[in-house]
Structure 1
C-alpha cells in the first residue's frame, strides 16, 4: 500500500476520479445523516458563493477522498459525511466528480465533518494507516476536523496546528470559529424538514444563524405579510383621515350657511 506522500511525481500514470470506485457499498447509518448534510450545504452555499465569486469550490457529502493506492481501490479512501474544498473547480472536464483524488488535485479540504451515532471510536482512531483521526491529521490534513455525536448533541472541532490536531475551544456563544470561512459551527435545536432534533449548523462570525432555503422563504413571506399589514394599516388611516377631513368640510359649510342666514359674511 502506497500513501499519497510516497507517490512519484508522474501523477499522470495514476488513476483519476473516473477510474476509481465512487462507493464502497455501505449505506448511511441513520435517517438524520442525509438531511443533516443537506442542511449544512443549503445554509452555507450563499456564504461560499460570496467567498468564491469565481465559483471555484466543491462540497462533498459521503464522497470518497482518495489518499493512497490500494487493492481494492476503495480501501485507500475516506468518505466524510461532509467536507468543503476551496479553490478547486466544482466539476472536472465538464463532468460531476465521482470522488476527490488528492494526487490529482493536491489541495486538501478546509474542513471535514463526521457524524457518529455512538461515541465515534472509528472517527477518533489514531492507529497509523487505519485510524480516521490519524489519516485526517497526518495525510489528508484538513485545517478543521469536526466529530458530531448525534445522540449527545455534541460536536468536537479540531484545528490543525504544526501537523497535529488541537481541540478547538468554544467561544462565548458556544460555537467553534472557522476563521477562514468567517463562520462558526455549533448545535441548534429546532425543526428541519419534519424532524425536531439538535442539528449541526452554521452561524456567521457575528453570531447570526445562516438560514437554509426554507427559512429564507419563510422570512420573505413573513416580511411580505408584515409589509402588507403595514400597507393596509396606512390605507385604513388614510381613509379615516379623508373621512374626517370630509366631515370637517361639511361642518364648515353648515357653519358658513348659518352665518349667512344671520347676515354675516363668513369670509370676513
Structure 2
C-alpha cells in the first residue's frame, strides 16, 4: 500500500496542479453524465454556501485527484464524476485548480460519486496495488478510494438500474450504508440525503441522482426554485382576482 503520510515532508519536491495533466485525452462522459453533475452541484450549492459562508470548499466534476507520482503522471490520478471537498480555498493563489493534488492539498474529499457507464465492475474493483509492478498494473478504483484517497463517503450510481450504492469509511474500511425509510442514504456531515429521483431534467426523463434535506424535502435547482416562485405568484394573483370579483359582485369596487 502506498502511504501519503509523508507528503508534508516532501511537498516542495513534488509537482502541483499547474504542472500535472488535467486530462488523459479520453472521452469519459455520455450525454447524461454532464447534466447529472450540474444537477448535483446546482441543487446543493445553497447548502454548501450556508455551511461555508467564507467560501472555503470546492467541487470537482470529472476532475483528476492525484494520489501518487507516476510515469505518465495521469496514471497516478482518479477522476471521479463528482466530488466535494470541505475547508479548502476555492482557488489556489488565485488560480482555478487544474486538478486536485493530495500531496499539495492534504484534505480528502468528503464524498466521491462515480457514474457507472459499464457493468459497474470498474467502480467496485478492489484490486490492491502491486508493489513489484505498480507502474504496470493499476490498482482498482474502489481500493484506491478506500485505502489512499479515503473520502468519507463513496457513491456508485447506475442510471440503467435506477440505483445508487453508498459506502461510508468506518475504521479504515468502507461499509455499505443502509437506505432509510425514504429509500435515501444520509450524508450526515452535510445534513443531506442522497437518492434516486425519477423525473425530467434538461429534456431527459431518467432516474436522476439527487439530494434531499434531512426532513426528506427535495433540494431544488435554481431553475426549479424560480419556477416554484412563479407558480406561487400566479396562484396568489388568481386568489386576489377571485376576491376582486367577489367584491364587485357585492357592489364594492376593490382598490387597485
TM-score (norm 1): 0.88
| Bigger RCO (CA 8 Å, 6+ sep) | 2
Residue 176 of structure 2 corresponds to 167
Tell me, yes or no, if the aligned pair for 2:57 and 2:90 is still in contact at 8 Å.
Answer: yes
Tell me, yes or no, if the aligned pair for 2:91 and 2:97 is still in contact at 8 Å.
Answer: yes
Residue 156 of structure 1 corresponds to 165
Tell me, yes or no, if the aligned pair for 1:21 and 1:73 is still in contact at 8 Å.
Answer: yes
Deviation of 1:172 after TM superposition, in Å, equals 0.2
Residue 45 of structure 1 corresponds to 45
Structure 2 Cα separation of the partners of residues 64 and 220 of structure 1: 38
Q: How does 1:1-268 map to 2 (within 5 A)?
A: 4-5=4-5, 7=7, 9-129=9-129, 130-243=139-252
Structure 2 Cα separation of the partners of residues 146 and 205 of structure 1: 18
Structure 2 Cα separation of the partners of residues 2 and 161 of structure 1: 20
Of Structure 1 and Structure 2, the greater helix share is in 1
- Relative distance call for 1:115 and 1:239 in structure 2 (3 A) is same
SS in 2 for 1:91: coil
SS in 2 for 1:159: strand
Structure 2 Cα separation of the partners of residues 208 and 114 of structure 1: 24
Query: How many residues matched?
Result: 244
Tell me, yes or no, if the aligned pair for 1:3 and 1:68 is still in contact at 8 Å.
Answer: no
Tell me, which stretches of 5 or more residues in structure 2 are unaligned?
130-138
Tell me, which stretches of 5 or more residues in structure 1 are unaligned?
245-268
Structure 2 Cα separation of the partners of residues 98 and 26 of structure 1: 16
227-236 or 191-200: bigger deviation: 227-236
Deviation of 1:10 after TM superposition, in Å, equals 2.7
Query: Deviations for 1:147-168, whole angstroms, at most 9, x for unmatched residues?
Result: 0112101110000000100000
Aligned-residue CA RMSD (Å): 1.6
Deviation of 1:216 after TM superposition, in Å, equals 0.8
Tell me, yes or no, if the aligned pair for 1:3 and 1:67 is still in contact at 8 Å.
Answer: no
Tell me, yes or no, if the aligned pair for 1:60 and 1:83 is still in contact at 8 Å.
Answer: yes
Structure 2 Cα separation of the partners of residues 54 and 172 of structure 1: 35
| Bigger Rg, structure 1 or 2 | 1
SS in 2 for 1:69: coil
